[in-house]
Amino acid sequence: MVQSEGSAVQCFENKILAGSGNERLIAWNNSVIRDKAGHVLFILSSGEDITDKRQAEARENALREQLSRAERMETIGVLAGGVAHDLNNILGPMVMIPEFIEDDLGAALQGDKAAHEEILESIGVMKTSANRAASVVRDLLALSRRGHYERIPTNINKLSCLTRSSGAIRNLGTSYPNVNIELHTSSEALMVLGSEDHLCRVMDNLIRNAVESIDGKGTVAVTTTKRHLDEPHHGYVRVPPGDYAIIEVADTGSGIENDHITRIFEPFYTKKKKTERSGSGLGLSIVHGIVEDHKGFIDVASTVGRGTTFSLYIPLTAAPESTSALDDRPLISGKGRILVVDDEPGQRFLASTCLTRLGYTVGLADDGHAAVRFFAMAKELRHASPYDLIVLDMRMEPGFDGLDTLRAIRELYPQQKVLIASGHAEDDRSSAALDLGAKWLGKPYGLNEMSNAVAELLKDIAT
**160 and 127, same structural domain?**
no
**242 and 125, same structural domain?**
no
Domain boundary among 124, 144, 164: 144
**242 and 304, same structural domain?**
yes
More confident residue, 282 or 410: 410
**398 and 354, same structural domain?**
yes
**172 and 250, same structural domain?**
yes
Dihedral over Cα of 407, 412, 415, 419: its sign: negative
**270 and 230, same structural domain?**
yes
The answer to whether residue 62 sits within a structural domain is no
Q: What is the CATH number of the domain that holds 190?
A: 3.30.565.10
What per-residue confidence (pLDDT) applies to 157?
Answer: 93
**256 and 181, same structural domain?**
yes
For 285-333, the pLDDT digits (tens) are 888 888 988 999 999 999 999 999 999 999 999 888 765 444 455 667 8
The answer to whether residue 55 sits within a structural domain is no
- Tell me whether the omega of the peptide bond preceding residue 232 falls within 30 degrees of 0, making it cis: no
The answer to whether residue 54 sits within a structural domain is no
The answer to whether residue 58 sits within a structural domain is no
Domain boundary among 254, 289, 315: 315
The count of domains in the chain is 4
For 140-191, the pLDDT digits (tens) are 766 665 555 678 899 999 998 898 888 888 888 888 999 999 999 998 999 9
**245 and 358, same structural domain?**
no
**290 and 243, same structural domain?**
yes
How far is the CA of 212 from the CAs of 82, 172, 304, in angstroms? 19, 9, 15
Contacts made by residues 430-435, CB under 8 angstroms, sequence distance 24+? 430/148, 430/394, 430/402, 430/403, 432/403, 433/394, 433/402, 433/403, 433/406, 434/148
**43 and 73, same structural domain?**
no
Domain boundary among 85, 120, 144: 144
In sequence order, the 6+-apart residues with CB closer than 8 A to the CB of 170 are 164
Q: What is the CATH number of the domain that holds 346?
A: 3.40.50.2300
The answer to whether residue 168 sits within a structural domain is yes
The answer to whether residue 462 sits within a structural domain is no
How do beta strands 389-392 and 418-422 pair? parallel
The answer to whether residue 105 sits within a structural domain is yes
Give the pLDDT mean for 64-84. 67
Q: Give the domain range for residue 271.
A: 152-315
Q: What is the CATH number of the domain that holds 10?
A: 2.10.70
For 262-278, the pLDDT digits (tens) are 888 877 666 665 554 44
Mean pLDDT lowest for which of 83-92, 156-165, 258-267, 375-384?
Answer: 83-92
**296 and 352, same structural domain?**
no
The answer to whether residue 322 sits within a structural domain is no
**189 and 305, same structural domain?**
yes
